[in-house]
Chain A
Amino acid sequence: MPRYLCIQRSKPGKGEAPSPARMEEMYASFNAWREKFQDNLVDMGGKLAGNGKIVTPEGATDGPFVEAKEVIGGYMIVEADSMDQAVEIARESPGVGMPGSSVEVREIATT
C-alpha cells in the first residue's frame, strides 16, 4: 500500500489557548479519529519545534523564516489505497479543524 506524508501547517502566532473543557473534546475526537483509521496510521510523527536550521552547501543558517505566512507544525505518515483515501484520513483528522491550519498530503514515491 502506498504511503503518504502528511504535513501539518498552521498560521504562526498563538491563538487563544484551548480550555480544559475544549481539550477534552479534542482528546475525544482525536481518539475517535485514530480508532477509525488505526490500520492506516503508520507513524504518528510528531510536533516540530519552532526553531531549526537550513543547511546549504554554503553552511547552516537559522530557519525556518519567521516571516513565513504558514509554519510547519508537525508531520505523520499514513498508509492508504489511494490519494483520495489519504486525503480523507487527513481531512477527518482533528488537526484540520483548527482555524488557519491545513494538512498537505504527498505520496512517498517508492519507484
Chain B
Amino acid sequence: MTTDKLVEHFFRHEYARLVAVLSRRVGVQHLEAVEDAVQSALMRALETWTRTGVPDNPSAWVFQVANNNLIGALRQHTGRAQLLSKYAGDVPVAQEQVPTCYMPGEVRDDLLRMLLVCCDEAVPAESRLVLALKTLCGFSAREIGIRLFISEANVYKRLARARNKLRQHCGHFGELSHEQFESRIPDVNRVLYLLFTEGYLSSHAETPIRRELCDEAIRLAGILAAHPVGQAPETCALLALMHLHRARLSARQNDAGGLLLLEEQDRHQWDRRAIGLGLEWLATSAHGRVFSRYHAEAGIAAEHCLAPSFDRTRWDRVAAYYALLEQIAPSALHKLNRAVAVAEWQGPAAGLEVLDSFEPPTWLIGSYLWTAVLADLHRRCGNTDTAGCYRGQALQSAPTPAIRELLERRLQSGEPRRP
C-alpha cells in the first residue's frame, strides 16, 4: 500500500487542471457545476486512497470520477431545461459529447485558457484575483479571505459576480485568435503581479502562506510563458522579478518571525537557484521594444541579488531603475524609493533633495513609509529634532508590531548605523 505517491499539492493542482479541462469542454457557463463535480471527485479520492492506497494513475482516476459526476449533474440540468423548454417553446439543450480522458497537450492549453478567462475584462476587476485563486489554485472562499485580508462573504460576492459575467458572456470565451490572445496578456500579467505582491508584501505573519501565494503566481506565470504567444517580454520580466524576490523571501525574517532590513539579511540564505532562474528570465525578457514596469522592477531586484553586500550594491543603477519606474508607472512610492537609493549612492542630503519639491499624496503622508524615510534621512544629515519628530510619527502609524519593531531598530537615534 503506497501512501506518498502523490506529488506535492496534488489536490490543489489537480483541481485546477480538472476545472480547466472540463469547463472548456462543457463551457464556462457551467463553471459552478464543474467545480462541484471536481470537488466531490477529489473528496472521494481522499476517502478511498487513504484506505486502499493511491492508484497507479491518480490523475486518470480522479478525471473519470469528476467526469462522471459532471455528466450526471449536467444530464439532470439538461432534463430540467428540456422540461422547462417544453413549456416555454424553447429549443432543447443539446446532449454534451464528453470524451473520457485527457488529450495530450490539452491540460496545458486549458489551464492557460482558464487563466485568460479569470483575467478577462468581462470579469469585474476586483473578482479576477479571487476567481483565479478559486479555480486555478484550489483555495476555498475562507482561505482566499485569509490570504487577501477580506471577509469570506466578500469573497463569495466577488465569485458570484464573476460567475454571473461568465454566464452572460460565455460566447466570448471560445477560441481566441492570435491577436486576441496577445491583447489580453497585459491583463493576465497584472493579475499575476497582484497575486505575487499579495504574497510578497503582505504583513501576514505566516511565511508559508505568503510563500504559497508567491509560488502560485510563479506557477501560473510559467503556464503563460510556456506558450509561444504568452511568452511576451513583459511576461518574462514578470517571471524574472518573481523569482528574484522569491529567492530572498525566507531571509526577510529572523527565527522569531521578526522582519529584517535588507542590510541585516544573511545573503547566504538567498536561494541561488531561484536567483539563477530569475536572471535567465531577465535575459529572455530583453527583447522587443517595450521596457515595462516589470523590467524596471526585475532590474532593481537583480541589482540587489547580485550585490555582494548592502554597501557594495550598485546604488546608481538602482536609482536609475527607480527613475525609469517613475516614468512608466508614476507613483509616489517609486519616488520615495528613488530617494532612498540616491541617499545610499550620493549621501542623505542628496536623498532629501529628491523629495525637496515633492508634494506627497495624503495616503503617503499618513503612512509609516514616508515618515520613516524622512526620519532616517534627517537623522543621517544630523537634523536631530526633525528626525525625532518624523520618527515619532512613523512609530505611531506602524501597521503591525513586527514593522514597529523594525522601525525602532532602524531609526535609533545616536550613531549612524554605518561608518
Contact = CB atoms under 8 A, between A and B. Distances in A.
A44 B39 CA distance: 24
Interface in B265-315: none
Contact of A21 (B46, B47, B49, B139): B139
Contacts of B11: 20-21, 23-24, 27
B334 interface: no
Contacts of A45: 51
A84 B114 CA distance: 52
A18 interface: yes
B250 interface: no
B217 to A, nearest CB: 16
Given A27-B50, A31-B3, A34-B50, A21 B140 contact: yes
A30 B140 contact: no
A21 B138 contact: yes
A72 to B, nearest CB: 15
B266 to A, nearest CB: 30
B46 A27 contact: yes
A109 interface: no
A21 B410 CA distance: 38
A50 to B, nearest CB: 14
A47 B9 CA distance: 25
B6 A17 contact: no
Contacts of A46: 51
A97 to B, nearest CB: 14
Interface in A53-88: none
Contacts of B10: 24
B42 A30 contact: no
Given A18-B43, A19-B138, A44 B12 contact: no
Contacts of B6: 27
A24 B11 CA distance: 6
Contacts of B3: 31, 34-35
- Residue from A18, A20, A34, A35 with most neighbouring chain B CB atoms (10 Å): A20
A23 B42 contact: yes
Nearest to B16: A20
Contacts of A26: 46
Contacts of A44: 50-52
Nearest to B139: A21
Given A20-B139, A26-B46, A31-B50, 6 more contacts: A19-B39, A21-B139, A21-B140, A24-B10, A24-B11, A27-B50
Interface of B: 3-4, 6, 9-12, 14-15, 39-40, 42-43, 46-47, 49-52, 137-140, 142-143
Q: Shortest 5 CB-CB distances between A and B: which pairs?
A: A19-B140, A20-B138, A20-B15, A20-B11, A23-B11
29 contacts: A17-B40, A18-B43, A18-B140, A19-B39, A19-B139, A19-B140, A20-B14, A20-B139, A21-B12, A21-B138, A21-B139, A21-B140, A22-B140, A23-B11, A23-B42, A23-B46, A24-B9, A24-B10, A26-B46, A27-B6, A27-B11, A27-B46, A27-B50, A31-B50, A34-B3, A35-B3, A44-B50, A46-B51, A47-B47
